[in-house]
Structure 1
Amino acid sequence: MTTGKPIVIADYDPAWPAKFVAERDLIVRTCGHGAFVSIEHVGSTSVPGLAAKPIIDMMPGLRSLDDAPPLIRLLESIGYEYVQAFERDTPSGPGMPFRRYFRKDERGERAYHLHAVEVGSSFWVEHLLFRDYLRAHPEAAAEYARIKYELAAAFNTDLTPSSDINVGYTDRKTEFVEMIKARARAELR
Protein backbone atom coordinates (compact mmCIF):
# COMPACT_ATOMS: atom_id res chain seq x y z
CA MET A 1 0.00 0.00 0.00
CA THR A 2 1.29 3.44 -0.85
CA THR A 3 1.13 6.33 1.55
CA GLY A 4 2.08 9.95 1.42
CA LYS A 5 1.24 13.03 -0.56
CA PRO A 6 -0.68 12.98 -3.83
CA ILE A 7 1.22 13.54 -7.05
CA VAL A 8 0.34 17.06 -8.16
CA ILE A 9 0.70 18.07 -11.79
CA ALA A 10 0.21 21.79 -12.30
CA ASP A 11 -0.44 23.70 -15.48
CA TYR A 12 2.62 25.59 -16.69
CA ASP A 13 3.47 28.57 -14.49
CA PRO A 14 5.30 31.41 -16.25
CA ALA A 15 6.95 32.22 -12.89
CA TRP A 16 9.00 28.98 -12.99
CA PRO A 17 11.89 30.40 -15.06
CA ALA A 18 12.20 33.38 -12.69
CA LYS A 19 12.19 31.03 -9.69
CA PHE A 20 15.01 29.10 -11.33
CA VAL A 21 17.06 32.25 -11.97
CA ALA A 22 16.59 33.52 -8.40
CA GLU A 23 17.59 30.17 -6.89
CA ARG A 24 20.50 29.72 -9.30
CA ASP A 25 21.79 33.16 -8.36
CA LEU A 26 21.49 32.33 -4.64
CA ILE A 27 23.47 29.12 -5.20
CA VAL A 28 26.19 30.98 -7.14
CA ARG A 29 26.46 33.67 -4.44
CA THR A 30 26.68 30.97 -1.76
CA CYS A 31 29.05 28.53 -3.47
CA GLY A 32 31.09 30.98 -5.52
CA HIS A 33 31.18 31.80 -9.22
CA GLY A 34 33.67 29.05 -10.04
CA ALA A 35 31.97 26.25 -8.10
CA PHE A 36 30.00 25.01 -11.11
CA VAL A 37 30.71 25.10 -14.83
CA SER A 38 27.03 25.88 -15.40
CA ILE A 39 23.69 25.48 -13.64
CA GLU A 40 20.95 24.34 -16.01
CA HIS A 41 17.18 24.46 -15.54
CA VAL A 42 15.98 20.97 -16.48
CA GLY A 43 12.85 18.92 -16.00
CA SER A 44 9.34 19.84 -17.01
CA THR A 45 9.35 23.28 -15.35
CA SER A 46 12.08 24.28 -17.82
CA VAL A 47 9.85 23.71 -20.87
CA PRO A 48 7.53 26.64 -21.68
CA GLY A 49 3.89 25.55 -21.68
CA LEU A 50 4.53 22.10 -20.15
CA ALA A 51 2.51 20.95 -17.16
CA ALA A 52 4.72 19.71 -14.33
CA LYS A 53 5.09 18.84 -10.72
CA PRO A 54 5.68 22.36 -9.36
CA ILE A 55 9.27 21.58 -8.35
CA ILE A 56 12.18 23.35 -10.03
CA ASP A 57 14.80 20.82 -11.20
CA MET A 58 18.29 22.25 -11.46
CA MET A 59 21.41 20.56 -12.78
CA PRO A 60 24.67 22.10 -11.57
CA GLY A 61 27.55 20.94 -13.74
CA LEU A 62 30.74 19.95 -11.94
CA ARG A 63 34.17 19.54 -13.48
CA SER A 64 34.52 16.44 -11.30
CA LEU A 65 32.44 14.75 -8.60
CA ASP A 66 35.49 15.30 -6.40
CA ASP A 67 34.45 18.98 -6.34
CA ALA A 68 31.15 18.16 -4.59
CA PRO A 69 32.11 17.51 -0.93
CA PRO A 70 32.94 21.13 0.02
CA LEU A 71 29.73 22.31 -1.66
CA ILE A 72 27.48 20.12 0.50
CA ARG A 73 27.86 22.27 3.61
CA LEU A 74 27.39 25.46 1.59
CA LEU A 75 24.18 24.18 -0.01
CA GLU A 76 22.91 23.00 3.37
CA SER A 77 23.45 26.55 4.69
CA ILE A 78 20.75 27.80 2.28
CA GLY A 79 18.23 25.09 3.10
CA TYR A 80 19.20 22.17 0.88
CA GLU A 81 19.20 18.63 2.22
CA TYR A 82 21.87 16.34 0.78
CA VAL A 83 20.38 12.89 0.10
CA GLN A 84 23.36 10.56 -0.07
CA ALA A 85 21.14 7.46 0.11
CA PHE A 86 20.11 7.90 -3.55
CA GLU A 87 23.70 7.17 -4.60
CA ARG A 88 23.26 3.52 -3.54
CA ASP A 89 21.00 0.78 -4.88
CA THR A 90 17.61 0.52 -3.17
CA PRO A 91 14.71 -1.93 -3.40
CA SER A 92 13.00 0.50 -5.79
CA GLY A 93 15.92 0.69 -8.20
CA PRO A 94 19.59 1.22 -8.87
CA GLY A 95 21.44 4.04 -7.20
CA MET A 96 23.08 6.93 -9.02
CA PRO A 97 26.69 7.08 -7.78
CA PHE A 98 27.45 9.62 -10.54
CA ARG A 99 25.04 12.22 -9.09
CA ARG A 100 24.93 14.29 -5.91
CA TYR A 101 21.27 14.93 -5.11
CA PHE A 102 19.85 17.72 -2.95
CA ARG A 103 16.31 18.84 -2.21
CA LYS A 104 14.83 21.96 -0.67
CA ASP A 105 11.39 22.73 0.70
CA GLU A 106 9.56 26.04 0.96
CA ARG A 107 6.50 26.52 3.15
CA GLY A 108 6.42 22.79 3.88
CA GLU A 109 6.37 21.73 0.22
CA ARG A 110 9.16 20.45 -2.00
CA ALA A 111 10.34 23.39 -4.12
CA TYR A 112 13.72 22.44 -5.63
CA HIS A 113 15.68 19.39 -6.72
CA LEU A 114 19.39 19.76 -7.39
CA HIS A 115 21.15 17.07 -9.46
CA ALA A 116 24.88 17.87 -9.36
CA VAL A 117 26.73 15.85 -12.01
CA GLU A 118 29.84 16.08 -14.13
CA VAL A 119 29.49 18.22 -17.24
CA GLY A 120 29.54 15.94 -20.27
CA SER A 121 28.38 12.87 -18.33
CA SER A 122 25.56 10.81 -19.80
CA PHE A 123 23.18 12.21 -17.13
CA TRP A 124 24.11 15.76 -18.18
CA VAL A 125 23.83 15.11 -21.91
CA GLU A 126 20.58 13.11 -21.72
CA HIS A 127 18.78 15.68 -19.56
CA LEU A 128 19.73 18.56 -21.85
CA LEU A 129 18.81 16.52 -24.93
CA PHE A 130 15.34 15.75 -23.52
CA ARG A 131 14.72 19.34 -22.37
CA ASP A 132 15.86 20.87 -25.64
CA TYR A 133 13.77 18.47 -27.74
CA LEU A 134 10.60 19.28 -25.78
CA ARG A 135 11.31 23.00 -26.05
CA ALA A 136 11.65 22.67 -29.84
CA HIS A 137 8.65 20.33 -30.30
CA PRO A 138 5.51 21.65 -28.55
CA GLU A 139 3.47 18.68 -29.81
CA ALA A 140 5.80 16.28 -27.95
CA ALA A 141 5.57 18.45 -24.83
CA ALA A 142 1.76 18.38 -25.05
CA GLU A 143 1.80 14.58 -25.33
CA TYR A 144 4.12 14.36 -22.32
CA ALA A 145 1.74 16.57 -20.31
CA ARG A 146 -1.21 14.33 -21.23
CA ILE A 147 0.72 11.24 -20.11
CA LYS A 148 1.72 12.87 -16.82
CA TYR A 149 -1.85 13.89 -16.00
CA GLU A 150 -3.07 10.35 -16.73
CA LEU A 151 -0.32 8.75 -14.62
CA ALA A 152 -0.85 11.16 -11.74
CA ALA A 153 -4.50 10.11 -11.66
CA ALA A 154 -3.53 6.42 -11.72
CA PHE A 155 -0.64 6.67 -9.22
CA ASN A 156 -1.90 9.40 -6.97
CA THR A 157 0.31 8.93 -3.94
CA ASP A 158 4.03 8.90 -3.34
CA LEU A 159 5.74 5.69 -2.28
CA THR A 160 6.44 7.00 1.22
CA PRO A 161 5.97 10.36 2.91
CA SER A 162 9.69 11.16 2.51
CA SER A 163 10.12 9.82 -1.02
CA ASP A 164 10.85 12.03 -3.99
CA ILE A 165 9.62 9.43 -6.45
CA ASN A 166 6.65 7.22 -7.08
CA VAL A 167 8.04 4.12 -8.72
CA GLY A 168 4.92 3.35 -10.77
CA TYR A 169 4.51 6.92 -11.97
CA THR A 170 8.20 7.26 -12.81
CA ASP A 171 8.51 3.86 -14.50
CA ARG A 172 5.51 4.51 -16.74
CA LYS A 173 6.94 7.87 -17.86
CA THR A 174 10.26 6.25 -18.76
CA GLU A 175 8.99 4.68 -22.00
CA PHE A 176 7.92 8.08 -23.33
CA VAL A 177 11.13 9.77 -22.14
CA GLU A 178 13.28 7.13 -23.87
CA MET A 179 11.27 7.51 -27.09
CA ILE A 180 11.80 11.29 -27.05
CA LYS A 181 15.53 10.94 -26.40
CA ALA A 182 15.78 8.51 -29.35
CA ARG A 183 14.02 11.04 -31.60
CA ALA A 184 16.33 13.79 -30.37
CA ARG A 185 19.44 11.70 -31.05
CA ALA A 186 18.12 10.88 -34.54
CA GLU A 187 17.69 14.61 -35.27
CA LEU A 188 21.31 15.22 -34.31
CA ARG A 189 22.61 12.76 -36.91
Structure 2
Amino acid sequence: MTDHLQPKNWPAWATESVQIVEANPMWGSLAQEEIRQLRDRLLQLNIHRFEHIGSTSIPGLPAKPVIDLMAEVQSWDDMDLIADQLNPVGWNYVPPELDGREYRRFWVRVKDGKRAVHLHLMRPEELRWDRQIQFRDVLRQRPDLVEVYAALKVKLADENQNDREAYTTAKTEFILKVLDEGI
Protein backbone atom coordinates (compact mmCIF):
# COMPACT_ATOMS: atom_id res chain seq x y z
CA MET A 1 0.00 0.00 0.00
CA THR A 2 1.32 3.45 -0.96
CA ASP A 3 1.78 5.93 1.87
CA HIS A 4 0.53 9.18 0.30
CA LEU A 5 1.76 11.19 3.28
CA GLN A 6 5.37 10.60 2.19
CA PRO A 7 6.72 13.31 -0.16
CA LYS A 8 8.44 10.66 -2.29
CA ASN A 9 4.95 9.41 -3.26
CA TRP A 10 3.55 12.80 -4.26
CA PRO A 11 2.83 13.62 -7.90
CA ALA A 12 5.13 16.12 -9.61
CA TRP A 13 2.52 18.89 -9.52
CA ALA A 14 2.44 18.69 -5.71
CA THR A 15 5.99 19.99 -5.47
CA GLU A 16 6.08 22.48 -8.33
CA SER A 17 8.39 25.42 -7.88
CA VAL A 18 6.97 28.87 -7.27
CA GLN A 19 6.84 30.75 -10.57
CA ILE A 20 5.34 34.23 -10.77
CA VAL A 21 4.19 35.38 -14.21
CA GLU A 22 2.84 38.66 -15.52
CA ALA A 23 -0.87 39.25 -15.02
CA ASN A 24 -3.03 37.65 -17.67
CA PRO A 25 -6.18 39.59 -18.59
CA MET A 26 -7.83 36.23 -19.43
CA TRP A 27 -7.66 34.91 -15.84
CA GLY A 28 -11.07 36.33 -14.97
CA SER A 29 -12.83 34.70 -17.92
CA LEU A 30 -10.94 31.44 -17.36
CA ALA A 31 -12.15 31.48 -13.75
CA GLN A 32 -15.74 32.08 -14.83
CA GLU A 33 -15.58 29.15 -17.23
CA GLU A 34 -14.19 26.90 -14.47
CA ILE A 35 -16.99 28.06 -12.16
CA ARG A 36 -19.58 27.31 -14.85
CA GLN A 37 -18.24 23.77 -15.25
CA LEU A 38 -18.06 23.21 -11.49
CA ARG A 39 -21.59 24.51 -11.02
CA ASP A 40 -22.85 22.06 -13.63
CA ARG A 41 -21.06 19.16 -11.94
CA LEU A 42 -21.79 20.04 -8.31
CA LEU A 43 -25.21 21.66 -8.28
CA GLN A 44 -26.95 18.40 -7.31
CA LEU A 45 -24.73 18.38 -4.20
CA ASN A 46 -26.04 21.80 -3.14
CA ILE A 47 -22.78 23.52 -4.09
CA HIS A 48 -23.70 26.69 -5.90
CA ARG A 49 -21.83 29.55 -4.24
CA PHE A 50 -18.45 30.18 -5.92
CA GLU A 51 -15.90 32.99 -5.85
CA HIS A 52 -12.73 33.70 -7.83
CA ILE A 53 -10.09 34.55 -5.22
CA GLY A 54 -6.33 34.84 -4.93
CA SER A 55 -3.91 36.79 -7.05
CA THR A 56 -5.43 35.82 -10.40
CA SER A 57 -8.65 37.55 -9.31
CA ILE A 58 -6.90 40.92 -9.00
CA PRO A 59 -6.40 42.69 -12.34
CA GLY A 60 -2.80 43.62 -13.07
CA LEU A 61 -1.29 41.50 -10.29
CA PRO A 62 1.50 39.10 -11.28
CA ALA A 63 0.79 35.62 -9.91
CA LYS A 64 1.41 31.94 -10.06
CA PRO A 65 -0.61 30.93 -13.14
CA VAL A 66 -3.13 28.97 -11.06
CA ILE A 67 -6.77 30.06 -10.79
CA ASP A 68 -8.01 29.94 -7.18
CA LEU A 69 -11.69 29.31 -6.66
CA MET A 70 -13.66 29.03 -3.47
CA ALA A 71 -16.97 27.21 -3.05
CA GLU A 72 -19.29 26.60 -0.15
CA VAL A 73 -20.00 22.98 0.81
CA GLN A 74 -22.52 21.96 3.44
CA SER A 75 -20.60 19.00 4.86
CA TRP A 76 -17.20 17.35 4.73
CA ASP A 77 -19.11 14.08 4.46
CA ASP A 78 -19.73 14.83 0.78
CA MET A 79 -16.09 14.45 -0.34
CA ASP A 80 -16.66 10.99 -1.89
CA LEU A 81 -19.65 12.29 -3.86
CA ILE A 82 -17.66 15.33 -4.93
CA ALA A 83 -14.78 13.08 -5.97
CA ASP A 84 -17.17 11.08 -8.16
CA GLN A 85 -17.91 14.30 -10.05
CA LEU A 86 -14.44 15.90 -10.10
CA ASN A 87 -11.91 13.08 -10.45
CA PRO A 88 -13.00 12.11 -13.99
CA VAL A 89 -12.25 15.63 -15.26
CA GLY A 90 -8.75 16.02 -13.82
CA TRP A 91 -9.34 17.18 -10.26
CA ASN A 92 -7.23 15.74 -7.43
CA TYR A 93 -8.25 15.78 -3.79
CA VAL A 94 -5.59 16.79 -1.28
CA PRO A 95 -6.70 15.31 2.06
CA PRO A 96 -6.52 17.51 5.17
CA GLU A 97 -3.63 15.43 6.53
CA LEU A 98 -1.54 16.64 3.58
CA ASP A 99 -3.08 20.08 3.18
CA GLY A 100 -2.71 21.00 6.85
CA ARG A 101 -5.67 23.40 6.78
CA GLU A 102 -8.64 21.96 8.65
CA TYR A 103 -10.93 24.85 7.71
CA ARG A 104 -11.10 23.73 4.06
CA ARG A 105 -11.05 20.77 1.73
CA PHE A 106 -8.65 21.32 -1.12
CA TRP A 107 -8.78 20.17 -4.73
CA VAL A 108 -6.27 20.74 -7.52
CA ARG A 109 -7.09 20.55 -11.21
CA VAL A 110 -4.11 19.47 -13.23
CA LYS A 111 -3.62 20.28 -16.90
CA ASP A 112 -0.56 19.21 -18.84
CA GLY A 113 1.04 17.90 -15.64
CA LYS A 114 0.83 21.26 -13.83
CA ARG A 115 -1.57 22.90 -11.41
CA ALA A 116 -4.14 24.92 -13.31
CA VAL A 117 -6.94 25.51 -10.80
CA HIS A 118 -7.33 25.25 -7.03
CA LEU A 119 -10.73 24.68 -5.46
CA HIS A 120 -11.03 25.61 -1.78
CA LEU A 121 -14.20 24.10 -0.32
CA MET A 122 -15.39 25.73 2.89
CA ARG A 123 -18.41 25.25 5.08
CA PRO A 124 -20.97 28.02 5.68
CA GLU A 125 -19.93 30.70 8.15
CA GLU A 126 -16.19 30.02 7.73
CA LEU A 127 -14.40 33.27 8.67
CA ARG A 128 -11.72 32.70 6.04
CA TRP A 129 -14.36 32.91 3.31
CA ASP A 130 -15.06 36.55 4.12
CA ARG A 131 -11.37 37.34 4.63
CA GLN A 132 -10.47 35.98 1.19
CA ILE A 133 -13.11 38.15 -0.43
CA GLN A 134 -12.15 41.19 1.68
CA PHE A 135 -8.48 40.92 0.67
CA ARG A 136 -9.39 40.51 -3.01
CA ASP A 137 -11.78 43.45 -2.94
CA VAL A 138 -9.35 45.79 -1.14
CA LEU A 139 -6.64 45.09 -3.71
CA ARG A 140 -9.07 45.52 -6.59
CA GLN A 141 -9.73 49.05 -5.29
CA ARG A 142 -6.13 49.92 -4.41
CA PRO A 143 -3.65 49.88 -7.32
CA ASP A 144 -0.98 51.21 -4.93
CA LEU A 145 -1.29 48.03 -2.84
CA VAL A 146 -1.25 45.87 -5.97
CA GLU A 147 2.11 47.39 -6.85
CA VAL A 148 3.54 46.76 -3.37
CA TYR A 149 2.13 43.22 -3.25
CA ALA A 150 3.48 42.43 -6.73
CA ALA A 151 7.01 43.42 -5.71
CA LEU A 152 6.71 41.38 -2.50
CA LYS A 153 5.44 38.30 -4.37
CA VAL A 154 8.30 38.41 -6.88
CA LYS A 155 10.87 38.79 -4.08
CA LEU A 156 9.36 35.97 -2.00
CA ALA A 157 9.01 33.66 -4.99
CA ASP A 158 12.71 34.15 -5.70
CA GLU A 159 13.62 33.45 -2.06
CA ASN A 160 11.28 30.45 -1.73
CA GLN A 161 11.27 29.08 -5.26
CA ASN A 162 11.28 25.44 -4.15
CA ASP A 163 9.02 25.78 -1.11
CA ARG A 164 5.42 26.75 -1.85
CA GLU A 165 4.43 26.62 1.81
CA ALA A 166 7.25 28.98 2.86
CA TYR A 167 6.27 31.34 0.04
CA THR A 168 2.65 31.37 1.22
CA THR A 169 3.64 31.85 4.86
CA ALA A 170 5.98 34.72 3.96
CA LYS A 171 3.06 36.67 2.44
CA THR A 172 1.00 36.46 5.63
CA GLU A 173 2.27 39.64 7.28
CA PHE A 174 1.31 41.78 4.27
CA ILE A 175 -2.09 40.11 3.95
CA LEU A 176 -2.88 40.63 7.63
CA LYS A 177 -1.90 44.29 7.43
CA VAL A 178 -4.27 44.79 4.53
CA LEU A 179 -7.08 42.95 6.31
CA ASP A 180 -6.62 44.21 9.85
CA GLU A 181 -5.13 47.64 9.42
CA GLY A 182 -6.52 48.63 6.03
CA ILE A 183 -3.12 49.91 4.87
- TM-score normalised to the size of structure 1? 0.81
Residue 55 of structure 2 corresponds to which residue in structure 1? Answer: 44
Q: Which residue of the other structure, out of 84, 94, 97, is the alignment partner of 1:83?
A: 94
Matched, 1:144 2:149: yes
Tell me by how many angstroms 1:183 deviates. Answer: 2.9
Whole-Å Cα distance in 2 between the matches of residues 154 and 102 of structure 1? 26
Residue 161 of structure 1 corresponds to which residue in structure 2? Answer: none
What's the RMSD between the two structures over aligned residues? 2.2
Q: Is the 8 A contact 1:62 1:68 kept in 2?
A: no
Q: Is the 8 A contact 2:39 2:48 kept in 1?
A: no
The percentage of aligned residue pairs carrying the same residue is 32
Residue 121 of structure 1 corresponds to which residue in structure 2? Answer: 126
Q: Which residue of the other structure, out of 174, 180, 186, is the alignment partner of 2:172?
A: 174
Tell me by how many angstroms 1:130 deviates. Answer: 0.8
Unaligned runs of 5+ in 1: 159-165
Runs (4+) of structure 1 exceeding 3 A deviation are 63-69
Cα deviation, 1:57-86, whole Å, max 9, x if unaligned, reads 0001123444444222211122100111xx
Residue 3 of structure 2 corresponds to which residue in structure 1? Answer: none
Whole-Å Cα distance in 1 between the matches of residues 64 and 142 of structure 2? 20
Cα deviation, 1:1-32, whole Å, max 9, x if unaligned, reads xxx54311011100101110111111111122
Matched, 1:63 2:74: yes
Residue 24 of structure 2 corresponds to which residue in structure 1? Answer: 13
Q: Which residue of the other structure, out of 129, 153, 162, is the alignment partner of 1:157?
A: 162
Matched residue SS, 1:32: helix
Whole-Å Cα distance in 2 between the matches of residues 68 and 126 of structure 1? 24
Residue 110 of structure 2 corresponds to which residue in structure 1? Answer: 105
Whole-Å Cα distance in 2 between the matches of residues 95 and 35 of structure 1? 25
- TM-score normalised to the size of structure 2? 0.84
Aligned residues: 170
